[in-house]
Amino acid sequence: MFINQISLQNYRNYESLKLDSFGPVNLFIGQNAQGKTNLIEALFVLALSKSHRTSKDKELISFGADHARIACEADKRYGKVKLELNFSARGKKAKINGLEQRKLSDFVGTINAVMFAPEDLEIVKGSPGIRRRFLDMEIGQVQPSYLHHLQQYQKVLQQRNNFLKQAWGAGSKDSTMLDIWNEQLVEHGVKIVQKRKRFIHKLQGWAENIHMGITGGKEQLLLSYVPSFGAAEEEDEAVLFEQFMVKLSQVKEQEYRRGATLAGPHRDDLAFHINGNEAAVFGSQGQQRTTALSLKLAEIELIHEEIGEYPILLLDDVLSELDPYRQTQLIETFQDKVQTFITATGIESLNAGRLKEAQIFHVHQGHIEK
């Protein structure tokens, strides 16, 4: 896929912006706090309908404005597509080729994007929540049904937690009501776990080979799902359902005391091992960076495998975080294959000699010019 045009209105620090004539590689150069990341974010939001930086849509609207709009035109293998997202106090509305979408899940994945930002280096060594967010965003792009189950699970989880807190405060343990929440929680939770395990299995195949290539065959990368119930390799839905139910019964008393749900995909994790050692604990900073890079490059190939075309690649101030060797590995992967948008504070921090025919845009206080 290829982005031909993007326009912003009242988005972050952009009052009005329209850009076109993009190339295969697009460099956005400017000092910090000028709007480079905001542009990259807008492309990401068009892919997933949500930001990677905030969960509050109102933060995307310019200060003093009551609405924001993002739109783009893209070429896909089946033809051109026009996307539009509008944000206001009433929520957000999504359109594809001018037609409003009844559900956001019908909009997500129309274009696909892989984002690589400095905070993604935390996927390896950061908190489990960072890794769960990584899984949710990437799976949601290629499997809209995953988003449905995730939204329903989160809704039931919140209601179940509220019930546990109220029961604890009242000194009551209404097992009948808890059983009702359990059924709904497990129904959607099992679907999430199944899809995560299958996604990780596919990602493993790509990431292992890429990591082996970057390290000259010296390091083997292994990805593994770390569930809060059951065995990591189990995928049968009926078995997972039973395992989840058993786990909830085992932790029921603790849940009443703590007023929170203690098992389920919201507490699962993803582990990385290099030559048998856990990367988060025993890996050097270089190994952790290489693992994060391998993951992102694997994402590109996995999306291509799933949908039949490559996503766009968004590199937000990340090339300067990589040493020249890893920069080269990354550039050689997307060069002549994936349309790429790169932000940086200056050309001097990039291995620019390897960026063939890159379009260069200069960003200053919410204005962009070539």
30 known ligand binder: yes
> pLDDT tens, 179-229?
999 999 999 999 999 999 999 999 999 999 999 988 889 999 999 999 999
pLDDT above 90 (res 350): no
31 known ligand binder: yes
* Separation CA 106–CA 262 (nearest Å): 32
pLDDT above 90 (res 153): yes
> pLDDT tens, 230-270?
888 888 899 999 999 999 999 999 999 899 999 999 999 99
Of 30-39, 325-334, 345-354, which has the strongest mean pLDDT?
Answer: 30-39
37 known ligand binder: yes
DSSP three-state, residue 253: helix
User: What is the average pLDDT across 285-313?
Assistant: 91
pLDDT above 80 (res 169): no
Looking at residue 335, its pLDDT comes to 79
User: What is the average pLDDT across 284-297?
Assistant: 89
Looking at residue 326, its pLDDT comes to 79
317: left (phi over 0), alpha (psi -120 to 50) or beta: left
Using the structure block, give the residue that is written with the tokens 């070429």: 75
Looking at residue 189, its pLDDT comes to 96
User: What is the average pLDDT across 61-84?
Assistant: 94
CB 325: neighbour CB atoms within 10 A? 12
CA torsion sign for 59, 146, 340, 16 is negative
User: What is the average pLDDT across 142-155?
Assistant: 92
pLDDT above 70 (res 172): no
202 known ligand binder: no
Looking at residue 238, its pLDDT comes to 94
> pLDDT tens, 32-62?
889 999 999 999 999 989 888 888 888 899 9
34 known ligand binder: yes
54 known ligand binder: no
Both tokens of 36, joined, read 């480079």
What confidence tier does 357 reach under pLDDT thresholds 50, 70, 90? confident
Which is more confident, 167 or 342? 342
**Do the Cβ atoms of 237 and 194 come closer than 8 Å?**
yes
33 known ligand binder: yes
Strand partners, 71: 7, 84
Looking at residue 300, its pLDDT comes to 93
**Do the Cβ atoms of 349 and 319 come closer than 8 Å?**
yes
Looking at residue 361, its pLDDT comes to 93
pLDDT above 70 (res 349): no
DSSP three-state, residue 306: helix
> pLDDT tens, 93-114?
999 999 999 888 889 889 999 9
What confidence tier does 67 reach under pLDDT thresholds 50, 70, 90? very high
What confidence tier does 120 reach under pLDDT thresholds 50, 70, 90? confident
What confidence tier does 309 reach under pLDDT thresholds 50, 70, 90? very high
